[in-house]
Structure 1
Amino acid sequence: MIIELHLLQSFPVSNLNRDDIGQPKTATFGGQVRGRISSQSLKRAARLLFGRYGLDPSETGVRTKRLVERSATVLRDAHGRDYDEAVGVVSSALLALGFGLDKRRNTLTEYLLFVGNKAVDLLAEYSERDWDRLAADATARAKAAERKKADAGEEKKSKVKPDKHTLEAAARILDASRVVDVALFGRMIADNKDFNVNAASQVAHAISTHAVVNEYDYYTAVDDLQPTDESGADMIGTVDFNSACYYRYANLHLDQLSINLPGDIDLVERAARAWLDAFIDAVPSGKQNSTAALTPPETFLVVVRDAGAWNLANAFLKPVADSDLMAASTRALFEHFGRLRQFYGRGGLRAVVAASVNGDPEGFEPSEIASSRAELVARALAATKP
């Protein structure tokens, strides 16, 4: 079973997700340049809201390279270990578990790991339990580094295939069977595919329904303590921005979510609710302090189906050109969905729920229209029940 969420959301002057030179991200679609917000930034914005919608911190995860530092802090505070020595021991623990360390800063892992919030304490417990063996390894590595024999290649070689005992410890540390955001967005660990998790949710890059041209704001700032006999700005610069109405799409495969969170129906249901609510509210934080582009979605379409999925971006393959972009985009979205539903039929559709801040959606039966966000969410989730 699949829940699909389609949103139209208009942002005024903003730079929510910028590229390598600081400009709002764009994409060419339908032969025209569109504003774009990456799926990665939308997923992060949603993840940060899960606590607001009923998930406990123990049921969510973190993406981090700082397991060494955090676990060493636990060993210092909870077990009275010397912090610097603990850093070496935890580093050896990660190497023993099959993970590499950053070549430039060995207190960081080689790449971001997506783990549950309990992973720090579990890694600290493993390090404390095998302290003597791991401390000896840390000492040997430190001596090798002093002799300038530890180069990047040797660090790679120190990642050995874990034995059964170590694999069991790694499985406990990396266990994601109750970590909702790992279950939703998946995890890929190149060093050990046994710990990979197939994502239950797919998230599209948001694109503007119309053509955009990035603009820039020329600003100046004056020193408040500037002498009265002096004039002129003490800082001059530019900030890039655009204004756009975006189409956003995401889906959730409930069967895969149940596989990723095995044996806990309550957690699966709470995860689905948190996913739906969080994605409605998800807004990236880029340049928000200087733009306050905190506008909510105005057009909603939720589809619950047994199989298949429809991204409705082709509703905007021809860019919308209208003085009222939200109204015109809403018409284009709903009409495109109606044409697809008429052509492909209604087979497999469990529920369709549409809503609009600006009035009743056109082209839908009265039973398919929700008058509020709360009703939209409740009816969508009710449709997922057996």
Structure 2
Amino acid sequence: MKLLELHVIQTVAPSNLNRDDTGSPKDALFGGFRRARISSQSQKRAVRVAFREWPLLSEEERAVRTKRLVEALLQRLSGIDENRARLAVENALNALGFNVKDGGRTEYLLFLGEGEIARLADLIRENLEALTANPAKGKKGAEVSGDLKKALENVLDGGKAVDLALFGRMLADRPELGVDAAAQVAHALSTHKVDREFDFYTAVDDLNPKEDTGAGMMGDVEFYSATLYRYAVVNLDQLLSNLQGDVDLAIKGLLAFLEAFALTLPSGKQNSFAAHNPPLFVAFRAGVGLPRNLATAFESPIRPTDSKPISALSVEALVKEWAKFDKVFGPLNPEWKAALTLVEAKVDHIPVKESLAELRREAEQAARKLLGG
């Protein structure tokens, strides 16, 4: 397997970045101790938002997750009578098994590349007559011919959308239209044990009369602070396949993922906590072999000392675990690796770079050698 791994140590101030259904920050037991946790799904969402807002990728290189595909297609079918266009769109989507409900939304939350949506709209426009020939039966997709249905299915090839190529698409009822994810993202875990804390707050009613001294409202919110270990791995062959063999786009997408994953976190309760803390250690490992999540470095929780903070001790534990696995199981073959560190810690066997830009360049060189671009 040709792969590129990312290993990140990141200390965040008091925060509640990723909540459960009760509003509490997510956690997990690991090594017998309670740890702070940030879900893989919320990290992927943060990466996708960064792709769009920074921006790291153009609109044509991104995907959208929505149940409002009917509206998205109608916007691209301007100049056609709205009722006729809506009927054609619903017939086409029903033929694909996406099942448009009475509210005009699809049964599933669909993940489609912008290119797929554009081509789907073009195909509906070209086959407007066939898709609206018999409204009575057509709403169930019965009037769509086999050839047209096949053409509609062929549009759904991923559309060279990088985030779709990275994170995949699953359609339970249409598995043949799915896309195998090229990236795997682990739940982030604190390298040390944590205890939840509570912030009791009150809000004052600005129009309260002076004699009314009570709070307008009150409540509490849970939080913790943590040094997190974050891990992700990208299957480069799968990424290239999902992007239809486009080496340059695969490398662009890989580097966008590296930057976005390293620099983003979920945004939960940030207006209350502003825990905008960049990572203190970022390393990549690229080559041919098997992936390694190094969370076992923290099975025994890190404890601070008088001379070193948890962040520095976490980096040293991570690098030690990396070296131990290399000694026992061997490194990737061939292998490229580099790190960026902002803490005073021993990083002996990994070349250290001065900036994220340098780390990106090293990763790009490794990817080009692995993918032949």
TM-score, structure 1 as length reference: 0.87
Which amino acid in structure 2 is aligned with residue 204 of structure 1? A
Query: Which residue in 2 is equivalent to 1:81?
Result: 81
Structure-1 separation of matches of 2:180 and 2:174: 14
Structure-1 separation of matches of 2:45 and 2:143: 33
Task: State the Cα deviation string for residues 124-181 of structure 1 (Å, max 9, x = none).
Answer: 3344444455446555688xxxxxxxxxxxx7xx689972321212321x23141111
What is the count of residue pairs matched by the alignment? Answer: 364
| Closer/same/farther in 2, CA of residues 85 and 285 from structure 1, 3 Å limit | farther
Counterpart of 1:296 (choices 278, 281, 292) is: 278
| Closer/same/farther in 2, CA of residues 107 and 137 from structure 1, 3 Å limit | farther
Structure-1 separation of matches of 2:143 and 2:42: 34
Which amino acid in structure 1 is aligned with residue 9 of structure 2? L
| Closer/same/farther in 2, CA of residues 169 and 313 from structure 1, 3 Å limit | same
| Superposition map of 1:1-386 within 5 A | 1-51=2-52, 52=54, 54-75=56-77, 78-82=78-82, 86-102=85-101, 105-135=102-132, 138-139=135-136, 163-172=146-155, 174-323=156-305, 324-346=309-331, 348-359=333-344, 361-364=346-349, 368-386=351-369
Structure 2 spans left out of the alignment, 5+ residues: none
Structure-1 separation of matches of 2:213 and 2:45: 44
SS in 1 for 2:76: helix
Structure-1 separation of matches of 2:120 and 2:334: 45
SS in 2 for 1:364: coil
Query: Contact (CA 8 Å) 1:95, 1:160: kept in 2 or not?
Result: no
Q: How far apart are 1:118 and its partner, in Å?
A: 3.2
Which amino acid in structure 1 is aligned with residue 63 of structure 2? G
Which amino acid in structure 1 is aligned with residue 61 of structure 2? E
Structure-2 separation of matches of 1:30 and 1:334: 19
Structure-2 separation of matches of 1:27 and 1:271: 31
Moved more, 114-123 or 235-244: 114-123
Structure 1 spans left out of the alignment, 5+ residues: 143-154
Structure-2 separation of matches of 1:318 and 1:159: 60
Q: How far apart are 1:299 and its partner, in Å?
A: 1.2
Query: Contact (CA 8 Å) 2:165, 2:243: kept in 1 or not?
Result: yes
Which amino acid in structure 1 is aligned with residue 92 of structure 2? A
| Closer/same/farther in 2, CA of residues 177 and 141 from structure 1, 3 Å limit | closer
Query: Contact (CA 8 Å) 2:69, 2:105: kept in 1 or not?
Result: yes
Which amino acid in structure 2 is aligned with residue 13 of structure 1? P
Task: State the Cα deviation string for residues 204-234 of structure 1 (Å, max 9, x = none).
Answer: 0101111112222111111111122321101
Structure-2 separation of matches of 1:303 and 1:257: 17
Moved more, 24-33 or 63-72: 63-72
Q: How far apart are 1:2 and its partner, in Å?
A: 0.9
